[in-house]
Chains A and B, each alone.
Chain A
Amino acid sequence: MDWKGRDVISIRDFSREDIEVVLSTAERLEREMKEKGQLEYARGKILATLFFEPSTRTRLSFESAMHRLGGSVIGFAEASTSSVKKGESLRDTIKTVEQYADVIVIRHPKEGAARLAAEVAEVPVINAGDGSNQHPTQTLLDLYTIKKEFGRIDGLKIGLLGDLKYGRTVHSLAEALSHYDVELYLISPSLLRMPRHIVEELKEKGMKVIETTKLEEVIGELDVLYVTRIQKERFPDEQEYLKVRGSYQVNLDTLRNVKETLRIMHPLPRVDEIHPEVDRTKYAIYFKQVFNGVPVRMALLGLVLGVI
């Protein structure tokens, strides 16, 4: 696979081999970054970050990644401050911005916007979230975090806890994990179960999938517990949200009979699904996970720019 000029739109487009290339490149860049502090691979290159919907963390992570690679960043953080407000089409915005930049990162509230942007643009486009569809760099940093902690992904028992119905990150992560030999535990209130078609797809790919509503019955088995927040805004019906609000929480009590090596992850931000007292335990790695977004995004930027 030739990475130079490639778009990063959907985790569906990634084979296991592609994923491995990103993870090993991220590992190398993280090491080099520790040794040298500042890298120079993207010297003279410009990244445009087009955030049609605000997401400060993701934007900062990409900007940090580009700066650490020695490149520079332009862009906007909110569509309301750009010409988009005047009704300019996405197509025209992209055709304009690509005159200024070597690579584009886009975040957009409409599903499929990143794919369209990639088709319009001559320069590579990276999807930083399109509506409730895809956020591939999140999934890659999740995989990177698991690989870093355990030295491998194969052979692990991975639990996904929380809103598995509307949670975009867990859909993509489950799909990416289907390239690996893992056992997947889907733990959620019954109202928030993983959509049937996704579960069927995973099973068709030969994955062992265990569904349960009871965290306490399976937590002792797990190597990784990936916790997600209930996102109120994704619920079509507020009554449904009220029924499940606060229906699960990981606290010290939950963690009494877990493996010593258990690792708890969370895409952040969290509300109350992980009690802050858990932060001090050796199990919590969600802030490391945030850090890992930087080398992973450096790897992607470097690869699609063809500079590493």
Chain B
Amino acid sequence: MPELKVSAIKEGTVIDHIPAGKGLKVIEILKLEKLSNGGAVLLAMNVPSKKLGRKDIVKVEGRFLSEEEVNKIALVAPTATVNIIKEYRVVEKFKVEVPEVIEGILRCGNPNCITNHEYVTTKFYVISRNPLKVRCHYCERTMEEEEILANL
């Protein structure tokens, strides 16, 4: 089956190779449902993929990602690639990567952790990438994928 074609965008970001079913989560963590520039957001779900079998794709018009956002995507969709589009062309393309230390973007799932009670920038050490597992710098509790997604 040929890969599904979705209309091109003039300027913006295409997040490709998202594991099937995680596209909505990517939209959610990037808060694209409230895109303020009036640009279009396209979500393609369950698209056939040579690499992944099935994948999701998110295209965002007129918006680029911060490093923090790229790191967030890595936690949700570690296989994702980010394409930066200018004048209908891919001007930059890179794979997301789970950083060794995750600072600020994740809440601790331990309700009794000091970070949930006091103003503290959270910090987690990645102790395993596949499956994803992180340890809180403060309370030392570990979180696995499901809990991480719930606390992004």
- CB pair A116–B142 under 8 Å, yes or no, is no
Name the segment of B17-25, B99-107, B116-124 touching the other chain.
B116-124
B118, B119, B136 pick with most chain A CB within 10 angstroms: B118
Q: A12, A89, A109, A110: which contacts B140 (Cβ < 8 A)?
A: A12
What's the Cα separation between A83 and B36 when bound, in Å?
A: 44
- CB pair A112–B119 under 8 Å, yes or no, is no
> Chain B: how many interface residues by the 8 Å CB criterion?
17
User: Is B137 interfacial (CB-CB < 8 Å)?
Assistant: yes
Contacts of A134 in B (CB 8 A): 140
Contacts of B118 in A (CB 8 A): 89-91, 116
User: Is A113 interfacial (CB-CB < 8 Å)?
Assistant: yes
Query: Would you give the shortest CB distance from B145 to chain A, in whole angstroms?
Result: 14
User: Is A197 interfacial (CB-CB < 8 Å)?
Assistant: yes
Contacts of A112 in B (CB 8 A): 108, 113-115, 136-140
Chain B, range 128-152, C-beta contacts under 8 Å to A:
136-142
The number of inter-chain residue pairs (CB within 8 angstroms) is 52
> Chain A: how many interface residues by the 8 Å CB criterion?
19
- A10-B140, A133-B140 are known; give 12 further A-B pairs, CB within 8 A: A91-B118, A110-B112, A111-B112, A111-B141, A112-B115, A113-B114, A113-B138, A115-B137, A116-B118, A116-B120, A133-B141, A134-B140
22 contacts between A and B (CB under 8 A): A12-B140, A89-B119, A90-B114, A91-B118, A91-B119, A110-B117, A111-B139, A111-B141, A112-B108, A112-B115, A112-B136, A112-B137, A112-B138, A113-B114, A113-B138, A115-B137, A115-B138, A116-B138, A130-B139, A132-B112, A133-B139, A197-B142
Among all A-B residue pairs, the 4 with the closest Cβ atoms? A112-B138, A111-B139, A112-B139, A112-B114
Which B residues form the contact surface with A (CB < 8 A)?
108, 110, 112-115, 117-120, 136-142
Which A residues form the contact surface with B (CB < 8 A)?
10, 12, 89-91, 108-113, 115-116, 130-134, 197
